[in-house]
Structure 1
Amino acid sequence: MTQTTTLIIGGSSGMGLATARQITAKGQHVTLVGSSSTKLEAAISELGESAEIFRTDLRNASDVKALIEQIKTSGRHIHALVNAAGTFSPKPFLEHGSEDYDSYMDLNRATFFITQAVAENMKANGGGSVVNIGSMWAKQAVRATPSSAYSMAKAGLHSLTQHLAMELAPHGIRVNAVSPAVVVTPIYGAFIDPDQIEETLTGGFDAFHPIGRVGRPEDVASTITHLLSDDASWVTGAVWDVDGGVMAGLV
């Protein structure tokens, strides 16, 4: 019998790891992909035999090629995929350099071709479900965090979600996305002292959300696991706002 797994790209921390915790708590297997060996080892130490890990730098073409080859030859049915990898470093548009731009677009390129390989796996095994982690910034500019290249990349991911939903539906593959606002995750460590992320975000952005607080990884993970499940079997091509009411409350 073919073994099944949920592949989580960017699964060693933040929303990806929170999703892995919820999936393994249901007795299901996960495969975590991340760039940090330390974080991956910590994750597998926590999750135990329900998880396996694969270290990949998504900005490294050779690493991405190796991961795609692993997807093709592992013998596992990847019945679910979560594209959770990301980077976020606000910078004014007029100060963006090519390296800043490439840091986001390289991730999108890797996501595109990894998802393609997974979709082939799903097609061969009767279907599956994909959830991409997009962003509120793809829909709404925020003056306090100028993020033109990041937002363009995430808008592209939202669009990819809808196109793949249309193209892959005949193969029994659903594709959706979540669009979070501010969530307390290590991604902010690119420009905030990692030890100060909690204090900085709760102090500066709680009031930004109509619901009165910033998000937690588990808030988004719960929606991801729902979209992956059969409970959402009639949902595809959706980009769900999981944002504490930000998009509803903007005027």
Structure 2
Amino acid sequence: MKNTVALIVGGSSGMGKEIAERLLRQGHSVMILSHDPIGLAEAKADLEKKTGGKVDTAEVDLYNSEAVAQFIARIKKEPRHINYLVNAAGFFKPVTFLEHSEKDYDLQLDINKSFFFITQAVAKNMQQHEGGSIVNIGSMWAHQAVKATPSSAYSMQKAGLHALTRNLAMELADYGVRVNAVAPSVVLSTIYKSFIAEDEIKETLQGFNDFHPIGRIGTTTDIADAIEFLLSDKASWITGTVMNIDGGVMAGRN
């Protein structure tokens, strides 16, 4: 086992869990963070059974500033090198702009505050250990609006994450830290359960296949492939990029 640890914020399900599994198979220790204690326990058991690796967990509500501060204090005491960070947590629920409440807004933008300061603490660890790689999961919705899925605050959150990616790439390069992001379009994952019944997500999302020039929606594997590459030394000359992993959506229109 390497004397390193990869931190996956939002690593108990979906894209975050898949990249956690890949890093465990590479020999890294992995820490997954989520607000859901049951989901954390189930993910830990599943990941360790599949990989034989070591999974630490952290129950943290990203909307609770005190809980985030306590977790940051834990990061500051971490003796190991946190060589990878993936900010994968997210919440998606289409709400029209004229119907947006303050709560709807806070559900989106408050995530970035937590990302900002958790990433700051991790970057200081990376600075101390002379290097690291960070990948943020952004979104196609940060690049363009989709009328069928009104997402003004969500798009602001993800656009802010893209901007943070580029700024940190510039500021942290001197310390050997690379910072990149991926911008997925429609991906089969549980993020849609806020407005689609979980057992209906797969069927419902098939209606978006033709939205993508490649002809299908994405999978968590598609996104994890890109994240794994960006974290790795194979991407050692890549920083500050926001990679569109979107089935060709940003290339044009069918």
Structure 1 length-normalised TM: 0.97
User: Cα RMSD (Å) of the superposition?
Assistant: 1.3
Q: Which runs of 5+ in 1 are unaligned?
A: none
Match of 2:13 in 1: 13
Q: Write the letter of the residue equivalent to 2:215.
A: G
Match of 2:36 in 1: 36
Residue 237 (structure 1) aligned with residue 225 (structure 2)? no
TM-aligned CA deviation for residue 22 of structure 1: 1.3
CA contact 2:213–2:253 (8 Å) conserved in 1: no
Give the Cα separation in 2 of the matches to 1:230 and 1:132: 17
Decide which moves more: 155-164 or 67-76: 67-76
CA contact 1:186–1:194 (8 Å) conserved in 2: yes
Give the Cα separation in 2 of the matches to 1:105 and 1:3: 34
Give the Cα separation in 2 of the matches to 1:6 and 1:30: 5
Structure 2 length-normalised TM: 0.96
Q: Write the letter of the residue equivalent to 2:198.
A: P
Residue 119 (structure 1) aligned with residue 123 (structure 2)? yes
Match of 1:226 in 2: 229
CA contact 1:3–1:75 (8 Å) conserved in 2: no
Residue 177 (structure 1) aligned with residue 187 (structure 2)? no
Q: Which runs of 4+ in 1 moved over 2 A?
A: none
Match of 1:95 in 2: 99
Tell me the secondary structure at the aligned position of residue 86 of structure 2: strand
% identical equivalent positions? 55
Q: Which runs of 5+ in 2 are unaligned?
A: none
Match of 1:213 in 2: 216
Give the Cα separation in 2 of the matches to 1:219 and 1:52: 25
Match of 2:22 in 1: 22
Residue 249 (structure 1) aligned with residue 252 (structure 2)? yes
Aligned counterpart for 2:160 among listed residues 139, 142, 156: 156
Q: Write the letter of the residue equivalent to 2:126.
A: M
CA contact 1:90–1:147 (8 Å) conserved in 2: yes
Matches within 5 A, 1:35-74: 35-48=35-48, 49-74=53-78
What is the count of residue pairs matched by the alignment?
Answer: 250
Give the Cα separation in 2 of the matches to 1:74 and 1:95: 43
Match of 2:90 in 1: 86
